[in-house]
Chains A and B, each alone.
Chain A
Amino acid sequence: DTQMTQSPSTVSADVGDTVTITCRASQNIDSWLAWYQQRLGSVPKLLIYKASTLESGVPSRFSGSGSGTEFTLTITSLQPDDFATYYCQQYYSYWAFGQGTKVEI
């Protein structure tokens, strides 16, 4: 099974900051990686798929990069709505999520 590991587990930031979250796969997953945002008490929301393709309606301050085993999600000019937990997910070999990264004030 392909395991996904995110770092850090928690990141503290302020409005206007740039935040970078890393996701590592235990084996090569090409570019078959998605990023999700889950606000407290809400349903997960797809932000990025195919490692760097922005889902329709998602603000351009979100960006993704990487291929193979290492990927990053970058949020520039952090907004109040962005304080949430972010999950990566590989869909190369079935499906598996990372453990999540909480972005807090």
Chain B
Amino acid sequence: EVQLVESGGGLVQPGGSLRLSCAASGFTVSSLYMSWVRQAPGKGLECVSVIYSGGSTYYADSVKGRFIISTDNSKNTAYLQMNSLRAEDTAVYYCARSKSARFEDRAFDIWGQGTKVTVSS
């Protein structure tokens, strides 16, 4: 079964760090686009980071320089290292994968259940 399971969320103080994990099953993370999409309380979806093509990365301006996306092929897991966290980073963070590696299939067809991150003192 194709599945994504996130973990690593929690409560962290402003300025702190957190690493989110996204364990994949049923496919290989290195073969597709792997993304992190967040949703602040009561707000819409924001694509914060994507990794693809053997290591190319995308970051939204709101997290550039603070977040780092990566994958570990041996564990078939994607990660989001979040540093210098701010109150506005408070959100549910979803991991999602693309339908395929082709340009026309870069929509996200499989999503994890999400992990909640709260940045507060």
Q: Is B87 in the interface zone, CB < 8 Å from A? A: no
B24-68 interface code vs A (CB 8 A; 1 in, 0 out): 000000000001010000001111001000000010010000000
Q: How large is the interface on B (under 10, 10 to 19, 20 to 34, 35 or more residues)?
A: 20 to 34
Contact (Cβ within 8 A) A91 B109: no
B98, closest chain A residue (CB)? A91
Contact (Cβ within 8 A) A49 B105: yes
Contact (Cβ within 8 A) A94 B107: no
Q: Is B79 in the interface zone, CB < 8 Å from A? A: no
Chain A residues with CB under 8 A of B44:
85, 87, 97-100
- How many residue pairs at the A-B interface have CB separations less than 8 Å? 59
Among A1, A38, A43, A49, contact of B107 (Cβ-Cβ < 8 Å): A49
Contact (Cβ within 8 A) A32 B47: no
Residues of B within 8 A of A (CB): 35, 37, 44-47, 50, 58, 61, 94, 96, 99, 103-109, 111-114
**Inter-chain pairs besides A43-B94, A91-B106, 11 sampled, C-beta below 8 Å:** A36-B108, A38-B45, A44-B111, A46-B109, A85-B44, A89-B47, A89-B107, A94-B58, A95-B50, A99-B44, A100-B44
